[in-house]
Amino acid sequence: MKKLITDALSSKNFLLLNAVSLTGTVIAMGLNYLFQIISARTLTLSDYGVFGVIIGIWSIITIPISSVTSVFSREMAKYESAPEKMNFLAKKYIRKTALYCTGAALVGIVACIAIGQPLVALALAGVPFMYTLAVIQSYLQANEKILQYTLLTTGIPVLKLGALLAFLSLGFGLGGAIGALVASSALALAAAAAYLLPKIKKVEKVQLTLRDALGVLLFTNALMTLIVYMDLFAVKTYLSDEQAGIYNAAEITAKILLFLSWAIGVVLYPKIAKLGHEKLGSEGLKLLLASAAMLIPVYIGFQLLASPFMILFYGQKFMESVEPFKLLSTAMLFMGFAYLLTSFLWARRCEMPVLALHVVAVAFNGALLYYTVPSGGLAAAANATTVTGGLLFVSLSALAIREIRRK
């Protein structure tokens, strides 16, 4: 049985690898939402609203690590037949990423303490660990070792939940919830490094410059993340902390659709990167459409079961989050489609047009939120994100069609 499973995974079958990635993602999301539920039920509404904003800042800083994974895995995939060169790249960028990110984090921590934001400073302490983990994930993704990749991404929320329970039991409250982010990333990096470093001892030097592509993808990924947190920031700015807590519960749950698209993208990305252009309109398009179709059943379930779903997990005090959740589910479906299209285009080196579209989307979303949230409340914030997500999806679809038709 073990040999059968190993052989099946080695075949790199698209549906099987997606099944592994999605299963791991569902488990990880379950643990992440348990983390959110415990935090919501333990903290006051005001503290939970503040926690949502800190999570948003953490995400804006750390979620762009997927661009690190994208660039490194795309370039490492070229050396699939030369593993010692791939090993060299992995070791080189693990070391450089750890060094540069530690320096940047220390500067940020000092600055945050100086301006009286110790909770943000605490969150920043986890940044070097998360970015260094991204390089290890790149190596696994480039080799299509999706099982190992999934075990790593699933292990992080296991550690995070354990750290949260430990810190809360010690009475640390909001600080403990934030500290759990840092502790889990540090422990996950230690485990991943212990697994990978002995496997990449043999190296062959290779010259590779990633700075330009990495910069573009980092900026784009930061903008992608900003789009799906701008509404929460607007609610926190223009409305009350209590309403921010209600909106945070709705949004973090609707983001299941977005998180699922990331899991699907883990499998989609290396396959599109390795395809010849002549197969893009046939095999590539089929892979893209199949990936998008996987999100539809989840979206339908959210629309049909919104009320019992939210009340079951968050309790009656979050009853007001049901309607924003239904609206935000549509927004996150569009953003999930947009992410899959972005992965498709990144794999084909179409970085600059994608960046331009995200710059416009951020500006457009910001204007919508500014003019509608003060008077329209939570529904206006959710509608603004939905409109922005829909337009971004249509625009990226046009880019993908152009790339497929390119001679």
pLDDT digit string (tens) for 49-99? 778 888 878 777 776 676 677 777 777 777 777 788 888 888 888 888 899
Sequence-distant (6+) residues with CB within 8 A of 171 are none
Taking residues 249-256, what's their average pLDDT?
A: 86
Taking residues 8-17, what's their average pLDDT?
A: 62
Taking residues 271-296, what's their average pLDDT?
A: 85
- Is the confidence at residue 4, as pLDDT, over 50? no
Instruction: Find where tokens 């999100």 sit.
Output: 295
- Is the confidence at residue 290, as pLDDT, over 50? yes
User: pLDDT of 352-372, one tens digit each?
Assistant: 899 999 999 999 999 999 999
Question: CA-to-CA distance for 77 and 200, rounded, in angstroms?
Answer: 15
Domain layout of the chain by residue ranges: 1-30+42-208, 211-407
Taking residues 102-119, what's their average pLDDT?
A: 90
Element housing 42 (H / E): helix 14-42
- Is the confidence at residue 157, as pLDDT, over 60? yes
Nearest CA to 299 among 263, 321, 332, 335? Answer: 332
Confidence of residue 1 (pLDDT cuts 50, 70, 90): very low
Confidence of residue 383 (pLDDT cuts 50, 70, 90): very high
Tokens representing residue 238 in the block: 């223009």
Length of the chain: 407
Percent of the chain with pLDDT over 90: 26
Tokens representing residue 304 in the block: 């049909």
Residue 388 has what pLDDT? 95
Taking residues 207-219, what's their average pLDDT?
A: 71
Nearest CA to 156 among 261, 45, 259? Answer: 259
User: pLDDT of 311-340, one tens digit each?
Assistant: 777 777 778 888 888 999 999 999 999 999
Taking residues 207-232, what's their average pLDDT?
A: 78
Q: Are 152 and 192 in contact (CB under 8 A)?
A: yes
Taking residues 203-216, what's their average pLDDT?
A: 72
Cα dist. 226→111, 182, 313, 327, 363 in Å?
A: 21, 21, 26, 18, 11
Residue 12 has what pLDDT? 64
Q: Is 331 left (phi over 0), alpha (psi -120 to 50) or beta?
A: alpha
Residue 296 has what pLDDT? 93
Residue 3 has what pLDDT? 52
At position 177, the amino acid (one-letter code) is A
Tokens representing residue 209 in the block: 């410059």
User: pLDDT of 137-153, one tens digit each?
Assistant: 888 877 778 888 888 88
Residue 13 has what pLDDT? 66
Percent of the chain with pLDDT over 70: 93
Q: DSSP alpha helices (H): ranges in 275-350?
A: 285-293, 296-304, 306-314, 322-347
Residue 210 has what pLDDT? 64
Tokens representing residue 317 in the block: 């005090």
Comparing 286 with 206, the larger pLDDT belongs to 286
User: pLDDT of 160-198, one tens digit each?
Assistant: 999 999 998 888 888 888 899 999 999 999 999 988 888
Tokens representing residue 256 in the block: 């299941």
At position 371, the amino acid (one-letter code) is Y
Q: Is 116 left (phi over 0), alpha (psi -120 to 50) or beta?
A: left
- Is the confidence at residue 115, as pLDDT, over 70? yes
Average pLDDT, the chain: 84
